[in-house]
Amino acid sequence: MTQSGRGSSGPSRKRLPIRQRRQLLLLLLAVVLIVVAAVIGILVAMDRRQSETQEPISTTLSEQEGQLSTPSSTEGISEPESTSSEPTSSEPTSSKPSGGQVGNYPTQDWNLILINKQNLLPEDYTVDLVTVSGGQRVDARIVEPLTDMLNAARQAGYSGVYVMSGYRTPALSQALIDKEVQIRVNQGMDEQAAYEEVIQAIAPPYTSEHNAGIAVDIYAPSYSVYGFSPALENQADYSWFKEHCAEYGFILRYPKDKVAVTQYQFEPWHFRYVGQEAAQAIMSQGICLEEYLGQA
C-alpha cells in the first residue's frame, strides 16, 4: 500500500513578493502618520480657540510701570471719587525726584499739563477718579472720550480692548522702580546704573502722567502675544489706536522717533488725553507734546 498522501498538508498559501510587502507597509505607515497629524491639528486648533476666548490673566508689570487688571464684568462707570495724589499711610512712601520744577507748565489748560522729568506734578495735586472698563480709574474728565474710543475699537473688530493701567499713586510708581532696581542689583549691576536704566521705562513719582489720571495703557489682543514690546506698533489693533486716537482727543505720548525729547522709551500702548484740537495737531504733524507746547 502506497504512502503517497501521508505528507500532504493541504493547499499551500501564496506569499506576496517582498517588494509588494514593503509597499503595503509603507502605505499603512503613511495612513497612520496622516491620522496622527490630523489629530494633532485638531488638538492645536481647539487649544488655540480656547486661549483666544479666555480673559487675560491679571498680573503685575515688572519691566514697565503700571499694574494690569482683568476687565470688570460690566462696562459701566462708577460715581466719581475725589482723591489726592498723596499716598495714604498704608501705601509705600515715595520720594520726589530732584532736578525738575514743580508746576512749571506752559499752559493752564488741565488737558495740556506737561508732566515729565523736568515738570513735576505738585504733591497736593488732586483728581476726581472714575472706574472704567478693566477696573482701572482715570480722571473723570476723560471718561467719555476714553469710553468712546474703546467702543469704536470694539466696533472695528478689536474685541477685548480695555484699560490695563490708568491712575496710579506716586507711591506705586516708586515701588515699581524700587522693585526693578533691586532685581538688577541682585544680578550684579551698580545701584545707580540700575536706577538710570529703570527710569527710562518707569516714570519716577510726580513725573508720571499716570499720577494725574490722564494717561492710559491700552490692552488689545496682540498684547497677549507680544507683551510690552515695540512689536505692538506693527499689530493691527495697536495700529488702529494710533490712527484713530486723535479723533477722541488722545495722542501716542511716547513716539519711537521722539525718545531724545520725551526721555522715555517708545511705548505703543501708552495714550495721553490732550483734547481733540491738540491731538489732531500733534498726531498729524508727527510731533510730541513737548514740541507742541514749545518745551522740547
Are residues 264 and 201 in contact, defined by beta-carbon separation less than 8 angstroms?
A: yes
Three-state secondary-structure class, residue 131: strand
End-to-end CA distance of the chain: 123
Cβ contact 87:171 at 8 Å:
yes
Give the DSSP letter of residue 172.
H
Residue 267 among the catalytic residues: yes
Q: Exactly one of 267, 277, 290, 291 is catalytic; which is it? A: 267
| DSSP3 helix / strand / coil % (the chain, rounded to 5) | 45, 10, 45
How many residues in total does the chain contain? 296
Q: Any residues with CB less than 8 A from the CB of 290 and at least 6 apart, and which?
A: 114, 116, 258, 261, 262, 296
128: closest CA among 116, 114, 138? Answer: 138
Asked whether the beta carbons of 212 and 125 are under 8 A apart, the reply is yes
Query: Number of helices and strands (H, E) in the chain?
Result: 9, 9
Handedness of CA 82, 88, 94, 98 (dihedral sign): positive
Which residues are the active-site residues?
267
